Structure formats: structure tokens, C-alpha cells
A and B are shown apart, each in its own frame.
Chain A
Amino acid sequence: MSSTTTITKAPKTRPPAAPINILDNDTAKLYTHIHPILVLSLYAFQFKSIVADPVPALLRTLIPLSVLQIAYVAICLPPTGSNATPVAPPKPGQKKKPVPGKLESGIQGKIIPAFLSLLLSTLAATPVLTITLILFGAPIATHHAHTLLCAAHISLLATLPLIYVHGVEGEKWREIVALLLPIDEVYGAMIGAVLGAWLGAVPIPLDWDREWQKWPVTIVTGAYTGFAVGKLVGGTLLKGKKISFE
């Protein structure tokens, strides 16, 4: 292997990761099914204006989307650390996530991590996704705002809930990237959104001369659709399954 890269072996002692279960209350169980419908409706409602003028429309849509996503994670998902599986203690020097104190109310203990997840997904995940989009063929000299907003949408859809439930621990994210975690509705939604965005590129070269074929409408559409499908399939059919590469 190249000498410029160092390799950290995965510690063998980690307990197997368990799929994320949604919170065990009626509101969570109900809202988790309403949420994708709301997200898709939001997108469908904004679709015309996104096609007409992508940049302002995508920017506008980010706000209701983040509200919906925050509501979803706060209502339905267990914040990081509260999960049944024990999390390795943070290494020295690593960014610490505030762990909700016992005295703090449940709402606060959820809302603050939710907002932190929003912040992290916007500030950290969006640039990474923007570069990924460009590597996958997004215009490099033009449409910068388009690509950035497209990445922002994908990161709100795909990474915000993941950060909320898994935190920012490096080892965890290595497992997330390497597709080693068992599938659940959060993980499924992420995979769905990313695959959807990738498949969204297929109609662009077709000669249908439709307005919606322009960058990045199909990518965002693919991400939203993939998010809903992945969330549904991940939470039901494939729940708990592991992805095998062999």
C-alpha cells in the first residue's frame, strides 16, 4: 500500500451494531409514516418553481425541509447515545457532542441535538457532497449555486437524521460509508437518497427538450424519491439486514 496513507484497523472488539428503532410511542410510529409524505408533498408543491428558477426556489425550500427533518428526528428517532447499543467513549481531542443531562427536559434533549445535526449536515456534509457531485459529473465551471443547493438538499435528506442518531464518531461514519451498518429506516433513507440522486442523472441527456431536464432538477427529484423509497423499504422489508459485497 502507498506509504502516504496510514491505515487504522477496525477494532475487532466492537459489539455488532443494531438497527435503529423508532421511539416507542404512538406519535413517533404515526409521524414516521406521515413524514415522507410531507417531504414529498413539499417537493411536489415547490417543483414548478424549482424548474422555473432553481436557485431561489431550492434555497427557499431548504427552510421548510429542515423544519420537517428536525421535527422528524425529534419526534421519531432516538438521539445519539440514547440508543441501546453502547457507544465508545469519545477520544481525547474529538469534538464533544453535548449529552443531554438528566435534569434537562426531554424536548430540549432532542431539539438541541436536532439543531446540531442540522448545523453539521449543512456545514460539513454539504461541501463534501458538493465535491462528490462535481466528481460525478456536475458542471465544474458553471452552475455552482445549483450544485451547492442540490448538495444541501441531499445532505438534509440523507445525513441530518444519520448525524442525529449516530453522532459524529469517526469509526461509526467509517461503517456508514463502508455500508457495514444493518439497514434501518434512517440508513435506508440515506442509501436511497444517494442512489436516487445518482440515478437522477439518467434522463438529463435524453432529447425530450423538457424544462425539468435541466441541472439539477432531476438529481434533486431522484434524491427525494430515493429518500422516501429507501426510508420505507429500510424501515420495513430490509430492516436489520446487512449489505453483503461478496
Chain B
Amino acid sequence: MRGRTILLTVANLLIPVAILVFATGFFPYKPFIPGLAEYEEIGNYAYKFGKAPDAPFNKLVFMVVDALRSDFVFGEHSGFRFTQSLIRSGTAIPFTAHATSPTITMPRVKAITTGSIPSFLDVILNFAESDTTSTLATQDTWLAQLKAMEGGKLVMYGDDTWLKLFPDFFERADGTSSFFVSDFTEVDDNVTRHVPEELLNSDWNAMIMHYLGLDHIGHKAGPNSPNMLPKQIEMDGIVQQIYEAIENEEHLSRTLFVLAGDHGMNDGGNHGGSAPGETSPALVFMSPKLKQITEGTDGYRCPTTPKADFDYYTKIEQSDIAPTLAGLLGFPVPRNNLGVFIPEFLHFWADGSDRIQLLLRNAKQILTIVKATFPAHNFKDKVQEMNCEGSLSSGEELSCKWQNVVQALETAAALHPKMRMDIIYSFCRTAQDIMSSTTSNYNVSRLILGTALAFLSFTLTMLSIRSKLSSISSTGIFYTLILLLYGILMFASSYVEEEQHFWYWSASAWFAYLFIAESRKEWFSKWVFHPAVMLLIVTRTLRRWNQTGQKHAGAPDIAHSTFLLHPLVLWSLVGAVYLDITIRLSRHIARSVMDPKKSREEKGYAELESGEGDRFVGMLAVFPLGATAFVFKLGFTAKDAPELVKGVNGGLFYWVGDLGLVGVARMVFVGLALSASWLVISEWRRTKMVKKGKESGGDLAVALFDLLSLFLITQTRAQNIPVYLLFRMQIFFLTLLNLTPTQITITTLLLTQTSFFALGNSNAISSIDLSNSYNGISGYNISAVGLLVFMSNWAGPVYWAIVGVLLLSGHPSSTPLYRDRYFDEQEIKEEVKDWVKEEREHLNEMLEKEVQRGREKGKKGDWEEHVALLTLWMGAGLGAVMCACTVLRTHLFIWTVFSPKFLFAMAWGVAYHLGVSVGLGGGIWWVGGW
């Protein structure tokens, strides 16, 4: 017994270790070069350079429009009429700036400002924004360079991601945060209102604006939303305002104006992955001075049609923006840059030697990173013999390309500047490709070690339950089969994207299995109403609730059906959920307020069920909590998705508005905490007072679960809340089935997974719901926000993990009705006919048995086995995901499908399995034994 526990503990501890080791190999921490770049001695070559070339611009207006996809600006149906006229006239140069996955704002801002290609780790940091490793305060960016220039002052308006990335950088700033996606206007007005006054100020040398409204429209209603065109016209108006100021104001005459999207959006209006729509934001450089470099060329047609999906004009990398700005504004290229100066702008310098110098500085800066990455290779600055034939490794190839650069520079012959430039470009582009391709960055030995550790955890768990393994049962076979199949499917990219299908598929099979297994024991003549059949029906309904995955995202489902979204229907159902939970809680409070001592004195025995008066007190105590939680949900939805509360009395919102949603949410959370502590204290007092013989029967565990579910409901979007009614039904039908502990564990496993997907989650980063992450939080607090994000996305699994524990410990989590059915001793002693007495005694006996059965369930061994089976699953599942990521690390979809899956597996393994399933579940199990 001891040995088993130790094995299991070690297996569980190995899970985070395996994840950590694997993650450090999979998302290697890229060493970055600290400090600000400075103009350095360019080196002594046969080809001679003058001093650093003069910059054509001295000021920068950088306007980011979030999710500005290329076709929004360049397409036929664009609202950017003025911008398009600039492109036609040659005073604006358009590009499509390729954004690498993950296409979410923070990594994109990093790429734009540093010129580096942010690692996937930034996705996590995007949600943990205040993390110090993610700020760019100490990194070399064009913002730092501009600030370091003489008289450099920066101003910033818009998305506060910038303020978090660049703390204390800005002279004047006004950050807006995107709490509510339904906010299309205020987020943008907050930026626009500063524009006229800043255009008159002459003290800044860079103004950054970041508009969020267009992204919000996308998230809310997709790229074809009727709000899209007016928003584009609004943005175009701001472009016109700024451009005209540059034309007219003397102090802005040498200003470069850049309009850029940080990423695009897919047809659903979401982003995060690497579909063409998501990775193709627009980029436009504007200035009257650009006329001088476009004059000789054919110019640009605009609007136009893309070459391929969203591929308009020249396609550049997003990281190319940084070195281009460096050249155009006259500062050294940021140190960690992997971007390459955009060739179109070289025409600003008439002299070939200036152009070459500019490029060479860019190349030398990239070379320092290349040297750091390939320390074993030869990047000497002198002509030498090299073997550049045959197939070369990445390092060798770069080494040869650099040698070509050196040779081109050491040739004093009258080479056309174009030829030298081509050679430098060839080096830079190859370096960019190689350094940004991730294959060279994996630490394969760590990947293998991490995978091995996961399988070690699996093996240890196997050892801990080896006594169980010898007996083969159909339940065991089912478990093994789905475990095996799950492991295999983790290697199929489409099954990672559509993982929900696997779970729905195996859950239906499981309920069918339960139906057959029960039918073998006893036959329900009304088999249509068999609990297992009812479970199948409820599961089918849940399956339809939210369409997730890639293929069918946006297909009709219940959560978006016009029926459910009719405010009356939706809020009746939501209200029913809140009412149910409030009544449940009031019973728990009623139980806690009654005085067992008193009732013992009055009636001569300790009554366990509360009386009328107690119930009234309970309701009185709990009602404010339930009502506040409901009002919060209503008020929150009014801001987050106003279309869902149409027709709801506006008076309600007045007092929510007065308090503020943060205040109301805090009231709910404090209420929950107070209720929980009250229940724990009173339960503790009761266990002292009531003799050991009468156990509490796990009422506290059930009470804590009900409190937890109210918290989870608070963290759930309104249109998903009715799902909790279905969950209740599932619990009810499960208690009707007489499940063995192993069957309970498997049911828990399947329902945690199906509920995760039924609530609208998937293995895509774009599906993470952030709307409930700031409930009750006014500032930024990483652990609180992290907890809320986890709880709102894993609400279903958390709920079911605890239900599993309650089922396992034999506390029916629906109210313990059986107590009411007891006949007390007095009643039996009463003078009644003999057969009535006998009948009553018989009924009592039967109930005793039922309770006994409940007690038998709550054995310690069951808990260990429960944890063992779940750990076994986690170890195997993690091992499979890691193995798939290792084997398929060069797969085309590694960054779009497999890495997000690994991120989700991390959350499942650490936060869910250790934190909730074992940690919280263990707590509830322990409390249930009081």
C-alpha cells in the first residue's frame, strides 16, 4: 500500500517535470543580444564607403490598425478610398507584410518593433503580459532607437499592449484595453481624439497609434460584418487627416507615415493560426516625399486583385519593417533584427555606395546573430578558400554566402553596385530564412528526455496498479482501447484540430456500453427511458451546443441558434440555472444554521434535516448572492454581447452601472468565499457536536461543489450557461446507474473532455475565450487573470472532475433525499398495525443498505485508483502529444496544429490534472470524509 502511494506520487510529480523539460527543448529561449545598437566601424574593405548615409525622414507616425488584412486596404471593396488614391498617385507604397504564426497582437508588435521573429513562447506571455521577460524595455527596438536620438520623444495612443511592452517609454500616452469585444467605437474614439492636438505638437519624433475597433468587429461578426466598411472609412478618414497635416504643417514635412496591420483575420474573424487571411496584414508607407522614388517606376494599380489569397503587391516579412525604418529615419538597425531593408526604398539614395553601406550595415547586424547561432562556422571578414559545393548544412551555407559578400567587397574592380547589392541581399535573405525557420532551434535531446519522462510517469502509474492489471474486464478493455486510439490520433493533424469528435464518439460508445452492461444485470421494460439512453440523448444535445474545431466552425449550433439567442428563452434558461443553484445553496446554509444540540434536547435525537425556519433563513442568506451573480451576468452580457439582452429592462443596468461590473463581480466572489468559510466552520462545529456514529454524509463536499459551480457559471458566457442544466441532468442519470469505481473514473474522464469541447473550446489558440478573464479585477494581476482564464475555459472539466469525486465517494450530488424517507424510531414505536410496523422497519433496512452502499464506495483505495487511472491517462496522453511533436517537428503544421496542442496539453497536465483533478478533487474527497 505504501509503495503504491509513493509510485503514484512520483508519477504525478514527473508530469510537470516532463512538461517543463519538453517545453524548454521545444520553445528554446532565444538568447538575445542586449543593449542598443550603435553605428560601428563598417570595416576596411577594398570597396570604400563614405560616412553614414543621410536619412530622408526625421519623424514617424506609426498607425497600427488591429487585424487590418491586406484586402481591407487594397481590395475592390475596401473603404480606404483616400489611401488607395495615394497609392495610385505614387505618394504611398503598398506591401503585404507576412506575419508569422502565432498571429496575435503581442508577438506581432514584438516582431514589428524588434525585427526579430518572436518564439511561440510569446503566446503564453501574451496572456501573462506583465511578465518581465516579455517587456521590451531592455531590448533594442526602433522605439528605443528613436527615443535615444537627440530630442527623441515618443507618444502613444491605443492598445495598451504597447504600454505593457514599453513601460515608461512614452512622453504622453493613453492606453485602451480591449475588455469588451462588443465595443466598436469607444476604443477608437479614445485614440482619435488625441490626433488633432498631437499633429500640432512638434516635440515628438514618433507617434504610435493602435486602433482596436476593426479587430473587435472581426471577432464579433467576421470580415463581412456590415460594420466593417464604415470602420474602414473611419480609419481612412484618419489617414487622410494625418497625411494632410504632413503635407501642410512645416514641422511634419519630413515625416514618414506608416499604416500597418499587426495580423489579419480568417473568414470567421478570428486569428492566431496561420491561414493566409491571418498572416497577410496590409502595410503602407506614405509621405509626399515618396513621389521622388516612385517617379521612374510604373507605379501601383489600386484597388487591385491579389496574386494568391490576400497576396497583394510585394510580399515582405513583417520583421523587415524594423531595418527599413532604421534606414529611413537614420538610426542603427536594432540588434536582434532578422529583417532585411525593403529594396524599394533604396532609391532614396542616389549614390550606389550609400545603398551598399546601408545594406552592409544591415547584413553585419544579422551576421552577429548568425555567429552566435553557429559559433563553429567560419564567418571571417577576409577572402579565403571555401568548399561550397554539394549539399550544405545551414551553417555552411551561410558561411559561404558571407564569403561571397566579403569577396564582392574586396573586389576593387568596377562592379555594378547592383551586383554587390544582390550578393548582400542573398546573404541577408538566406540568413532570415534559416534563422526564422524553427527546425534548427529544437533541442532534440530535451524533446526526447521530456517524452521519456512522460512515459516514465505512465510506467510508474502502471506499476502502482499492477495488481489490478492481472484481471481483465470489459471496462479495462474499453479504457485501454480509447487510450491507445487517443495516442494514435495525436499524430493526425486533423484529429488534433477536431479532437472533440473523438471524445463525443467514445463517450457515446461508453454510454451504449453502460446500457448493455446494465441490461445484462436487469432489464428495464421501458428501455427507452433507461438512464444510459437518457445520457446518450443529453450528450447528443451537448455535442450540438457549440460547433468547434476547424472544419465545422461556424456551422449551425444551439449556442448561436436564433431560438436560444432570443433574450426571453436565453435568460429564462440562465435564470433557471441560477435559481437551481441558489436553492441548492440555501439548503446547505439551512443545514448549517440549525442547531443539532437544540433539536436533540427538544426531540430527544439529533435531527439531520433542517426545518422550515432554517430553510427560510438559508434562502434569505443565499438569495442576495444568487441574485448578484445573476445581475452580474446580465450586466456583463449587456456590455460584452448587447444583442443578447435586447428587451431587458434598462433600469437594471442603472444600478449595475453605478457599482461597476468590477464591483459586482467582487461582491459575488466575496460572497462565495464567505459562504464557503461559513459552511466549513459550521460543519467543523457539527462534527464536534454530533457523535461520530452520525456522519455528515459528505454534505460539506456537496455544498462546496455547489459553490464552485456558481463560480464556474460566473466564468461562463451567457449562451453557454444553460449547459449546466444539461450537466445536472447527466449527474442525475449517472446516480441512477449503479457504477463501479472504475466506471465512475472512466465516465469522469470522458465527461471532462466532452464538456471542454461542448463549451466551445478546441485545440486552437484563437478559441481561447478571454472575455471573462477580468471579472472583478481592475488592474493587471497575472495570477488572478491566469486563474480566471483557466477557470472560464476549463469550466466544464473542473465541474466534472469534482462531480467525479462526489460520485466516487458515494455522495449523491443531487440532494440527499433519502433522509426524508427515514421513519424515525418514534414512528415505528407508535401503536400501529403490525404489518405497517414491519413495512416501516423493512423500508428503513433498505435505506440503511443504500446508505451502506454509499459508505462502501468511499473507500480510500477507490480514490487512489481513481487518481491512478487519471494519471495513467495524463502520462500516456502527454507522452503521445510530445512524441508527435518530436517526430513531426518538421511537419508543415507543427506551429499551427501540434504546438498549440502541446500548449493545451500543458494546461491539461499541470493546471487541470494536478491543480484540479488531484489537488482540488483530493480536497473535496478529504472534506467528504469528515
Interface residues of B in 490-537 (CB under 8 A from A): 492-495, 497-498, 501, 504-505, 508-509, 512, 516-517, 519-520, 522-527, 529-531, 536-537
Structural contact, A206 and B492, CB atoms closer than 8 A = yes
Proximity string of chain B (473-490) to chain A, C-beta cutoff 8 Å, 1 when within and 0 when not: 110000000000000000
A201 CB–B CB distance under 8 Å: yes
Which residue on chain A has the smallest CB distance to residue B732? A2
Structural contact, A205 and B556, CB atoms closer than 8 A = no
Which residue on chain A has the smallest CB distance to residue B544? A140
Structural contact, B530 and A5, CB atoms closer than 8 A = yes
B736 CB–A CB distance under 8 Å: yes
Residues on B with beta carbons closer than 8 Å to the beta carbon of A9: 522-523
A179 to B537, CA, bound (A): 22
Which of under 10, 10 to 19, 20 to 34, or 35 or more describes the interface residues of A? 20 to 34
Proximity string of chain B (540-556) to chain A, C-beta cutoff 8 Å, 1 when within and 0 when not: 10011000010100001
A180 to B523, CA, bound (A): 12
Residues on A with beta carbons closer than 8 Å to the beta carbon of B493: 207
A162 to B551, CA, bound (A): 39
Per a CB cutoff under 8 Å, which of B498, B509, B526, B539 touches A198? B509
Structural contact, B525 and A8, CB atoms closer than 8 A = yes
Which residue on chain A has the smallest CB distance to residue B475? A245
Known interface pairs A137-B505, A137-B540, A179-B520; A4-B474 also in contact (CB < 8 Å) = no
Shortest beta-carbon distance, A100 to chain B, in Å? 30
Per a CB cutoff under 8 Å, which of B474, B540, B543 touches A244? B474
A197 to B638, CA, bound (A): 46
Proximity string of chain A (1-28) to chain B, C-beta cutoff 8 Å, 1 when within and 0 when not: 1101111111000000000000000000
Residues on B with beta carbons closer than 8 Å to the beta carbon of A6: 524-526
Structural contact, A207 and B736, CB atoms closer than 8 A = no
Shortest beta-carbon distance, A8 to chain B, in Å? 5
Residues on A with beta carbons closer than 8 Å to the beta carbon of B524: 5-7
Structural contact, B543 and A180, CB atoms closer than 8 A = no
Structural contact, A4 and B523, CB atoms closer than 8 A = no
A205 to B498, CA, bound (A): 7
A141 CB–B CB distance under 8 Å: yes
Known interface pairs A7-B524, A205-B494, A246-B473; A135-B505 also in contact (CB < 8 Å) = no
Shortest beta-carbon distance, A243 to chain B, in Å? 8
Per a CB cutoff under 8 Å, which of B494, B495, B516, B543 touches A178? B516
A96 to B679, CA, bound (A): 63
A120 to B508, CA, bound (A): 26
Known interface pairs A7-B525, A137-B504, A198-B509; A205-B516 also in contact (CB < 8 Å) = no
Proximity string of chain A (183-208) to chain B, C-beta cutoff 8 Å, 1 when within and 0 when not: 00000000000000010011011110
Shortest beta-carbon distance, A184 to chain B, in Å? 18
Residues on B with beta carbons closer than 8 Å to the beta carbon of A180: 520
A-B contact count (CB 8 A): 83
Shortest beta-carbon distance, B471 to chain A, in Å? 8
Which of under 10, 10 to 19, 20 to 34, or 35 or more describes the interface residues of B? 35 or more
Residues on A with beta carbons closer than 8 Å to the beta carbon of B539: 135
Residues on A with beta carbons closer than 8 Å to the beta carbon of B536: 135-136
Which residue on chain A has the smallest CB distance to residue B535? A135
Residues on A with beta carbons closer than 8 Å to the beta carbon of B522: 7, 9-10
Residues on A with beta carbons closer than 8 Å to the beta carbon of B505: 136-137, 198, 201-202
Known interface pairs A205-B494, A205-B501, A206-B495; A178-B474 also in contact (CB < 8 Å) = no
Structural contact, B517 and A10, CB atoms closer than 8 A = no
Per a CB cutoff under 8 Å, which of A134, A177, A204 touches B501? A204
Per a CB cutoff under 8 Å, which of B474, B529, B544 touches A245? B474
Structural contact, B519 and A174, CB atoms closer than 8 A = yes
Structural contact, A207 and B494, CB atoms closer than 8 A = yes
Shortest beta-carbon distance, B678 to chain A, in Å? 34
Known interface pairs A135-B536, A137-B543; A206-B494 also in contact (CB < 8 Å) = yes
Known interface pairs A177-B516, A205-B501; A10-B492 also in contact (CB < 8 Å) = no
A179 to B513, CA, bound (A): 10
Residues on A with beta carbons closer than 8 Å to the beta carbon of B530: 5
Structural contact, B494 and A245, CB atoms closer than 8 A = no
A2 to B736, CA, bound (A): 7
Structural contact, B520 and A178, CB atoms closer than 8 A = yes
Structural contact, B508 and A137, CB atoms closer than 8 A = yes
Shortest beta-carbon distance, A201 to chain B, in Å? 6
Structural contact, A245 and B540, CB atoms closer than 8 A = no
Known interface pairs A4-B529, A245-B474; A205-B520 also in contact (CB < 8 Å) = no
Residues on A with beta carbons closer than 8 Å to the beta carbon of B474: 244-246
A245 to B537, CA, bound (A): 24
Most buried by B among A135, A174, A202, A204: A135
Interface residues of A in 134-149 (CB under 8 A from B): 134-137, 140-141
Residues on B with beta carbons closer than 8 Å to the beta carbon of A204: 501
Structural contact, B509 and A2, CB atoms closer than 8 A = no
Residues on B with beta carbons closer than 8 Å to the beta carbon of A246: 473-474
A137 to B520, CA, bound (A): 25
Interface residues of B in 552-577 (CB under 8 A from A): 556
Structural contact, A245 and B473, CB atoms closer than 8 A = yes
Structural contact, A8 and B523, CB atoms closer than 8 A = yes
Known interface pairs A140-B544, A245-B474; A5-B525 also in contact (CB < 8 Å) = yes
Residues on B with beta carbons closer than 8 Å to the beta carbon of A198: 505, 509
Per a CB cutoff under 8 Å, which of B494, B523, B531, B544 touches A7? B523
Structural contact, A135 and B508, CB atoms closer than 8 A = yes
Residues on B with beta carbons closer than 8 Å to the beta carbon of A7: 522-525
Interface residues of B in 87-105 (CB under 8 A from A): none
* Subset of 26 A-B contacts with CB under 8 Å: A2-B531, A2-B736, A5-B526, A5-B530, A8-B523, A9-B522, A10-B523, A134-B540, A135-B536, A136-B512, A137-B508, A137-B543, A174-B523, A204-B501, A205-B494, A205-B551, A206-B492, A206-B494, A207-B494, A207-B551, A244-B474, A245-B474, A245-B517, A245-B520, A246-B473, A246-B474
Q: A6-B525, A206-B492 are in contact. List 14 more A-B contacts (CB 8 A).
A: A2-B736, A4-B529, A5-B526, A5-B530, A6-B524, A7-B523, A7-B524, A7-B525, A9-B522, A10-B522, A10-B523, A136-B536, A205-B498, A245-B517
Q: Which 9 A-B pairs have the closest CB atoms?
A: A207-B494, A178-B519, A205-B498, A245-B474, A178-B520, A135-B536, A136-B508, A5-B524, A205-B501
